[in-house]
Amino acid sequence: MYVAVKGGEAAIANAHRLLADRRRGDRSLPAIGIEQIVAQLGLAVDRVMAEASLYDRALAALAIRQARGDMIEAIFILRAYRTTLPRFGYSKPVDTAEMAIERRVSATYKDLPGGQLLGPTFDYTHRLLDPSLLTDADVDAPLEREESREPVMRVSDILAGEGLVEDDGSLPDGHVPGDITREPLEFPMARDLRLQALARGDEGFLLALGYSTQRGYARTHPFVGEVRIGEVEVEIDMPELGFAVSLGRIQITECQMIAQFKGSTKTPPQFTRGYGLVFGQSERKAMAMSLVDRALRADEFGEDIVAPAQDEEFVISHSDNVQATGFVEHLKLPHYVDFQAELALVRRMRREYEEKLAGNADDLAEAAE
Amino acid sequence: MAAVEKSAEAGVKAANAERQRAIGLLAKASRTELQSAFDALGDKPDVQPVRGPETGLVMVRGRIGGGGAPFNLGEATVSRASIRLDDGTVGHGQTLGTDGAKARLAAIFDALFQQPDRKTEVEMLLAAIAARVVAEDAAKTRQAAATRVDFFTMVRGED
């Protein structure tokens, strides 16, 4: 027999009305606008775009506002929205060598073509609260300097000249890039699928895993070959025209992590690489992604798999924060019947346990007599 | 004969390259730029919808290591529209984002661009868009250049 219990409609409706009230907050303050969120909380917007795996600043800002700033809730909302849209096609691979650079730093070469461009960075700030931001004080316009017109070469291309670093990373000829939004996850997976999963993976999770590799759980001794942030062109082939057209530009962050490799019987000693590519300005995420990408290649290099960051199934199965929050948070939904069943079970076990204890006591008493 | 074919082919190629440039610039235009250019047209074209405007997704691809095998990075919203002018010229517009009206305007200008007698009007719009984009890019590049580190060596010790 199954007895359905209904109820709660009015409570739910009222709760959502209360949520809307709390979201709006003090009515004497102006409501925050989507344009303001895009302009002034840009890195929050970028994180939502990256982990929702949907590049659209205005929609990400709307999701942040709707979620009251709860990032994972915002990511969830944007992820849900993307399922309502048709897929028009796949872009041509973006060319990060042709990026319009806003920031580019290398930890491996001091003087490299294009130079070290710090861009809009938190690095070297003192992390002291800035009271001037309590008011709407005027902000100085950025300084400008004539550009060097030197090509900002990718560090991987510089290193490749010496043959001491592995290639960019090829897959067998005819390999069609896998798409985790279209096919269920299967392990082991090719590196292209892993990178897609990592690109939308939770920043905190990947950061912790990347950190764990530095602390000795799958030691790779990495260097940041380069981090670059800037805009790239998104182009798509137009079958009706017979040529590719630009759809506009997106901002991305790329990290080339360079790691030691002592070589094997087949490969001479050389540097190996981990790769990170993320929507928007997301340096921490791109770096963490590249560390984890490298750690997950343990198998390729015949390294012992001893740490969580090297375990592909563990990492990829738990990197998606929408899945994770769904499963963790479902625990708060009614489990009344499940719990009643378990309660009855525990009561019975307790009864049996106590009966056994009593029986033992009787036996002991008898033995003593 | 072969030479004629070859030059015809080269002509098509050049026309395609021109149109590719035009479509790329129209994608980078703001809706306001396109709308005011449309409002300023003396002779408004008669526009029939062919497809859209509609909003969907394009899966953006990257390459492993920057230049290796392609992988799927994540999706971007894209709006597109196709229109037909009364003489049968078809125009396509597509742009990142959810602004279908902008895609439709871009499609109209793509169609006008293919009409020899209206191309000049579109070229004026394209020049304005290109000038803005170039100026914005140059300013960003100069701002980044101002954050370039100039290393200098400190000489220490006696010699």
Confidence of residue B89 (pLDDT cuts 50, 70, 90): very high
Separation of alpha carbons A231 and A342, rounded Å: 56
Residue type, B157: G
Token digits for B155? 């000489």
Q: For residue B50, how many other CB atoms are within 10 A of its CB?
A: 14
Domain count, chain B: 1
Best probe of the B interface among A34, A91, A99, by most B CBs < 10 A, is A91
- The pLDDT of residue A1: 58
CA distance B44 to B13: 29
Contact A242 B16 (CB under 8 A): yes
Nearest Cα to A210, choosing from A287, A282, A132, A133?
A: A287
Q: Cβ–Cβ of B77/A55 closer than 8 Å?
A: yes
pLDDT greater than 70 at residue B158: no
Task: Give the ipTM.
Answer: 0.92
Q: Given this model, what pLDDT does residue A173 score?
A: 86
Rounded to an integer, what distance in angstroms lies between the CA atom of residue B58 and that of residue B102? 17
How many other C-beta atoms lie within 10 A of the C-beta of residue A297? 23
A113-158 pLDDT tens trace: 888 999 999 999 999 999 999 998 899 999 999 877 788 888 877 7
Q: Do B77 and A85 touch (CB under 8 A)?
A: yes
What residues of chain B lie within 8 A of the CB of A242, using their CB? 16
Provide the pLDDT for residue B137: 94
Asked if A296 and A188 count as a contact pair (C-beta separation under 8 A), the reply is no
* pLDDT in the model for residue A221: 79
Give the DSSP letter of residue A220.
Answer: -
| Host domain of residue B105 | 30-130
Contact B143 A167 (CB under 8 A): no
**Strand A100-105 versus strand B47-63 pairing type:** unpaired
| pLDDT score, position A219 | 77
Name the nearest CA neighbour of A107 among A95, A96, A123. A123
SS3 for A184?
Answer: coil
Residues 6+ apart with CB under 8 A from B97: A56, A58, A248, B77, B78, B79
Two structure tokens written together for B92: 């396509």
φ/ψ of residue A255, rounded to 5 = -125, 130
Residue A250, token pair as written in the block: 């997106």
**Number of CB pairs < 8 Å for A and B?**
233
B96-99, long-range: CB within 8 Å, 24+ apart, which pairs?
A: B96/A55, B96/A56, B96/A234, B96/A247, B96/A248, B96/A249, B96/A250, B96/B27, B97/A56, B97/A58, B97/A248, B98/A56, B98/A58, B98/A59, B98/B55, B99/B31
Q: For residue A180, list chain B residues with Cβ-Cβ distance below 8 A.
A: 72
All structural domains of chain A with their residue ranges = 9-82, 96-121+149-324
| Domain membership flag for residue B77 | yes
Q: Taking the model in full, what pTM does it have?
A: 0.92
Q: Supply the pLDDT for residue B5.
A: 67
**Would you report the helix, strand and coil content of chain B in percent, each value rounded to 5?**
50, 25, 25
Asked if residue B148 is part of any domain, the answer here is: no
Q: pLDDT, tens digit, for every residue of A190-212?
A: 999 999 999 999 999 999 999 99
Compare A47 and A155 and report the one with higher pLDDT.
A47
pLDDT category, A303, cuts 50, 70, 90?
confident
Q: Does a structural domain hold residue B11?
A: no
pLDDT in tens, A259-300: 987 777 777 888 899 999 999 999 999 999 999 999 999 998
Residue B110, in any domain of the structure? yes
- Looking at residue A132, the DSSP 8-state letter turns out to be G
| Chain A residues with CB-CB distance to B74 below 8 A | 49-50, 53-55, 196, 199-200, 279
Whether B104 maps to a domain, the answer reads: yes
CA distance B29 to chain A (A): 9
- Taking only the tens place, the pLDDT of each residue in A33-46 is 999 999 999 999 99
> Is residue B96 one of the residues assigned to a domain?
yes
Contact B60 A234 (CB under 8 A): yes
Residue B157 lies in a domain: no
Interval A164-193 mean pLDDT: 91
CA-to-CA distance for B146 and A168, rounded, in angstroms?
31
- Asked if the structure places residue B149 within a domain, the reply is no
Q: A256: which chain B residues are within 8 Å (Cβ-Cβ)? A: 65-66
Residues in chain B within 8 Å Cβ distance of A195:
62, 64, 71, 73
| Partner-chain residue, chosen from B16, B60, B141, that has the shortest CB–CB distance to A91 | B60
